[in-house]
Structure 1
């Protein structure tokens, strides 16, 4: 786990409170929670067990529902244990501190964990004669981590800038009209540096030579990614598999085709 942290923090210490730092802190907290919870469910984590809820049937007054009753069964994913270990690993060292950087960091840790906890899903299996679904057994599962990352990326796009509160132990949004950020929102206190040019101190390689999308208006588009310097478009011949056919049994044969690919790179 410590190696995971070093990947993000080891070479370029994160000492700022930018939007990017907030996202990294949130995704690390979520990643630790996810991995520990999954290891716990698989029996690979010492000192924990899966989430064994008491079996209980959900019944309603009146005639039975077409899908039948359902009950908890098997081993659900113990998200509470994963969250506890994530807190032990990340939060403990900051417990006695209340400076602005610590408050922002701890807030984003919580947001990362909630991106998993608030979106736990109930997965059920049907049981019954001849494929009927007279009984369903259900367990609680975490969402795929790609979904967690996408959700945090959306929070990154809408992150709120905050300033220290008057009590010295909290923060508030910068500007009177900004809605106070909730627990699931990402926050930051410093504006991001310019990443357009190489900066070894920040670990930024700049955007010169980066492949961009010349038809997109988003962050991946050449207009934004190239920082107004313009871009160059050229065509490159690449080989790709084509005209694939399935041969019984069990082989897929493809031909190799040459295609001209349009590539745009930042100047």
Structure 2
């Protein structure tokens, strides 16, 4: 059941996207197929990369699902205090994804990032067949400075040593390429909607690839650093979410060019978005009031911060409708103490907390 729950999110995203821009990948029409085994039993309807995944790489489905779950959780975190809070309940997400808004662009980008991230991590952990990890770079180190290696050299071992400190770095290139193949193999690249979609996918993948962290460790007697091993590791996915949220705030509205094969900023004075920027082609709906046609659940009943002037403040979140004040019983850990050895024991305290909710 847990695997099926993980797959629901990615199948929602891929099914909706694919039904808009190309032939159905995972299902028939807008109907979602929740059973991964059922999906792969329908391989006669699938083509290209999707058939290969079902027939030869079922473990890829599991990692894609993990990546999609990470993406939605991060989306919910980044938008938890906004009028649109990335909810997936009551088919809201389905309706949101039917338009090319800022919110849609973020969902596409964070989904591509999540799949890239999960596949890269799984590859380095040996959970996927047919991929290898990136080897660490090992070289002599003097005064804690890594000696430059010859071009295209992935590792270096001092000839007078019989040990090899090389290990397994995160293979982000594998995750990047597989994510691209999986999400874009059936898109029609002569439609501006598909171009916008692919652009946001790429921004999501690059948010992982271009934010890899360099890590090193030293080897030597008595803590010396006569030999140093360095590798690239994935950033935290929270860092990826922060990067893409910043891109969301600065996203550019675009329109199709005359030939319909590319897009350009709607406002001529705005520079062309880079590959790491997010783009959209439709204005966002009003998320203040519930509207089934747009997927908006409204903000009525949402908890807000009465003292904040930001997006989580009651004025903005409640769209000027005012608030209701109530008392809520809160349970939390209190009077914690450390017991030797080694546990922390806490009591459970209850208290009354004043909360404000939108009218």
Is the pair's TM-score, using the shorter chain for normalization, greater than 0.5? Answer: yes
Secondary structure of the 1:229 match is coil
Secondary structure of the 2:10 match is helix
Aligned residues: 260
Deviation by residue 1:190-236 (Cα, 9 ceiling, x = unmatched): 00011111122333221100011122222222111111111122332
Cα distance in 2 for residues equivalent to 1:50 and 1:145: 19
Matched, 1:5 2:1: no
Structure in which a larger fraction of residues adopt helix: 2
Identify if the C-alpha distance between structure 1 residues 265 and 52 changes in structure 2 by more than 3 Å, giving closer, same or farther.
Answer: same
Matched, 1:247 2:339: yes
Cα distance in 1 for residues equivalent to 2:194 and 2:294: 20
Residues 22 and 187, structure 1, Cα contact 8 Å, conserved in 2:
yes
Structure in which a larger fraction of residues adopt strand: 1
Match 2:110 to one of 12, 27, 35: 27
Cα distance in 1 for residues equivalent to 2:287 and 2:145: 57
Identify if the C-alpha distance between structure 1 residues 217 and 75 changes in structure 2 by more than 3 Å, giving closer, same or farther.
Answer: same
Alignment gaps of 5+ in structure 2? 1-5, 17-31, 33-90, 150-154, 156-165
Which residue is equivalent to 1:137? 229
Q: Which runs of 4+ in 1 moved over 4 A?
A: 7-11
Which residue is equivalent to 1:147? 239
Query: Which TM-score applies when normalising by structure 1?
Result: 0.90
Alignment gaps of 5+ in structure 1? none
Cα distance in 1 for residues equivalent to 2:247 and 2:146: 38
Cα distance in 2 for residues equivalent to 1:207 and 1:216: 17
Which residue is equivalent to 1:93? 186
Matches within 5 A, 1:68-79: 68-69=145-146, 72=155, 73-79=166-172
Identify if the C-alpha distance between structure 1 residues 58 and 228 changes in structure 2 by more than 3 Å, giving closer, same or farther.
Answer: farther
Match 1:67 to one of 126, 130, 144: 144
Identify if the C-alpha distance between structure 1 residues 56 and 248 changes in structure 2 by more than 3 Å, giving closer, same or farther.
Answer: closer
Cα distance in 1 for residues equivalent to 2:12 and 2:258: 36
Residues 77 and 141, structure 1, Cα contact 8 Å, conserved in 2:
yes
Query: Which TM-score applies when normalising by structure 2?
Result: 0.68
Which residue is equivalent to 2:358? 266
Aligned-pair CA distance for 1:250: 2.1
Residues 68 and 133, structure 1, Cα contact 8 Å, conserved in 2:
no
Aligned-CA RMSD value: 2.1
Which residue is equivalent to 2:130? 47
